[in-house]
Structure 1
Amino acid sequence: MQIVRDYQFVTESDRGAVAAIGNFDGVHLGHQAVLDIARAEAKRIGAPLGVITFEPHPRQVFAPDGPDFRLSGSAARANRLEKLGVEKLYELAFNPSLSGLSPRDFAEKVLVQGLGIRHVVVGSDFHFGKGRAGDIETLRAFGAELGFGVTAAELVHKGDRKADIEISSTAIRGALREGKPREAAAMLGHWHRIEGKVISGFQRGRELGFPTANMSLDGLLKPKFGVYAVLVDILTGPSKGRYHGAASLGMRPMFDGEEPNLETFIFDFRADIYGCILSIGLVDYLRPELKFDGLPALIEQMDKDCAEARRILDAL
């Protein structure tokens, strides 16, 4: 997959895609439905499949002091989109220059003059341009005038008529905050994953007989703190592959942690993976964080957690 980060400096080979537009946070089933429409149109006219998205997420720019909310970082989003067959990812810098463009300027300068987009696919609630002034009808009018096609995808729902839930990043965040990773997965179409580099910790897990891979949660949504059964994908390094494990997500109350992080114990695994990129899929929430009366009680509970996680993951 080719990644383009500036619409003003592109080669001719960067241009001419059919592109889905959106933030694609989490790349959930609603996003995938938009991609399916774009994929079909790209195949019909013989164009590459593209995605136009923004980095940082506009919400981070307009509400920089708000709580962390992102389901996936830039690299994780790119990984997921590549797996879905996206050939060109236009990850545009969301800065004052871009955010200040009028709807017409966005259509003309970014979509047409910059990227040469042949057709765009967006959600039916799509807005664009300064102050979100542009909508679907505005986009269709510009498309007719400037020479690109426009398709609006209907919002995707899950459940029956009695319990219809609109699939959205907001609904997924709510499920994760409540410790319901399977409910989130049903809307995502995949396990919610936390991706990042293994960083140095205090090596307390090793001393307890449970060496863990430590990862930062900086900038990402914090799911409900506690212990999870997890799928572990090691994406880089000589130990690349999929493993099972149990992970503690939160503040480490036994050791007075100051910043939340993710500590993953990989079952039946012994290798140095410091600096490697991991993708941790949350499968089931096992229990909340607890403070125990000493390390023996903690170790006993960790043994129980791992046994329960093994049982769950072996049944997948």
Structure 2
Amino acid sequence: MYYWRDLGEVPEDFGPSVLTLGNFDGVHRGHQQVLQQVLDAARERSAAAVVVSFDPHPAQVHRPESAPELIMGLEDRVEMLADAGIDALLMMHYTLEFAANSPEDFVEQVFVRALGAKAVVVGHDVRFGRGNSGDLDTMRELGAKLGFEVIAIEDFGASYPLRSTDADGDRRCSSTWVREALETGDVETAGRVLGREHRMRGEVVHGAARGRELGYPTANLAPSSQGFIPADGIYAGWLIDESGVRWPAAISVGSNPTFEGVSRQVEAHVINRPPERVQDFDLYGQSVVVEFLHRLRGQVTYRGPEALIEQMKLDVGQARTLLSAQPHALLSTEQRAEG
């Protein structure tokens, strides 16, 4: 996938293209349906499939005090868009100056001159240009004037039947739904809307080493880590190291109320550390991904370390059982060598 951070990086002879625009925070199942329509339309027209997106999120520029917490960081968003099969991504730097462009100036400069748009795929609720003054009718008028087709999707991020037995069964997939689920620790629902486990990405840093002292060493994510932090509690999930190995893990989110003076943090205890490296399994300084599969329990204050250790033993056992049944459970060292 071509990845451009500025209009000046787009080759002068690029095009023709079929494109869509949006923030694509989470790249959830609804987004994936839109991207597939872009891909289909591009193949039918022998054109490149292109996404135009923005960084930072426009809400962070216009109303930083109330902007929603992002589901994923920029690196993961780029990776997910590439995995979807998109041919090119133009990630435009969003500023107040950029936002002042009129709808026509924006479309002509970006869609037509830079990307050679043959068709534009948008939802009926599309808004663009200065003050969000451009809408679907505006896009159609500009398409007729500037020579591109407008493909309107009935529901941008259409409904996906996640569960047929409850009120959410036909709810429209959205980034808002993912955030609502994560705020309550419901990582299973978030995963169903996303189409994969929710993830965070960050550097492993030194912590207070209490986990190691208690017999359960953890990889502590730096406060600067990217991705929506789910509700406090204990989770079963995965830690993916820099080499791409996926380790089963018991993940703690919170401030660990059993001990005083601990700030909120995300830490993962790798369950199946290689036997030959139990003592020196060192992830410090690595950029890792932590994925959340299932919430085991909420955060609890214990009367002392002994009770906490006993609960940690139960948590790790439960996490191991849940993760061992997953299709991407970690292979043994011998199995990896054979592969």
More divergent stretch after superposition (78-87 vs 147-156): 147-156
Residue correspondence of structure 1 range 87-236 to structure 2 within 5 A = 87-155=87-155, 156-159=158-161, 160=164, 163=167, 164-216=170-222, 218=224, 220-234=227-241, 236=242
Q: Between the two proteins, what is the percent identity of the paired residues?
A: 38
1:283 alignment counterpart: 293
Q: Deviations over 1:281-300 (max 9, x none)?
A: 21111111122111111111
Aligned counterparts of 2:265 and 2:112: Cα–Cα separation in 1: 43
Q: Deviations over 1:139-172 (max 9, x none)?
A: 1211121122221223211345983311111011
Shift of 1:255: 3.4
Aligned counterparts of 1:304 and 1:13: Cα–Cα separation in 2: 61
Give the TM-score of the pair, scaled to structure 1: 0.92
Structure 1 pair 151–285 and aligned structure 2 pair: CA distance change class (3 A): same
Aligned counterparts of 2:130 and 2:222: Cα–Cα separation in 1: 34
- What SS does structure 2 have at the residue aligned with 1:255? coil
Structure whose CA Rg is larger: 2
Q: Conserved in 2, the CA contact under 8 Å of 1:68 and 1:221?
A: no
Structure 1 pair 166–143 and aligned structure 2 pair: CA distance change class (3 A): same
Shift of 1:92: 0.5
1:292 alignment counterpart: 302
More divergent stretch after superposition (58-67 vs 254-263): 254-263
Q: Report how many aligned residue pairs link the two structures.
A: 313
Q: Conserved in 1, the CA contact under 8 Å of 2:15 and 2:47?
A: no
Q: Deviations over 1:250-296 (max 9, x none)?
A: 22323345643210111122432223222222111111112211111
Aligned counterparts of 1:180 and 1:126: Cα–Cα separation in 2: 30
**Which structure 2 segments of 5+ residues have no match?**
327-339
Amino acid at match of 2:314: K
Structure 1 pair 94–256 and aligned structure 2 pair: CA distance change class (3 A): farther
Q: Conserved in 2, the CA contact under 8 Å of 1:14 and 1:88?
A: no
**Which structure 1 segments of 5+ residues have no match?**
none
- Mapped pair 1:311 → 2:313: no
Shift of 1:315: 2.2
Q: Conserved in 2, the CA contact under 8 Å of 1:16 and 1:48?
A: yes
- Mapped pair 1:302 → 2:312: yes
Structure 1 pair 162–278 and aligned structure 2 pair: CA distance change class (3 A): closer
Aligned counterparts of 1:24 and 1:35: Cα–Cα separation in 2: 10
- Aligned to 1:266, which of 270, 280, 285? 270
- What SS does structure 2 have at the residue aligned with 1:37? helix
More divergent stretch after superposition (64-73 vs 152-161): 152-161
Shift of 1:231: 2.1
More divergent stretch after superposition (203-212 vs 280-289): 203-212
Q: Conserved in 2, the CA contact under 8 Å of 1:68 and 1:220?
A: no
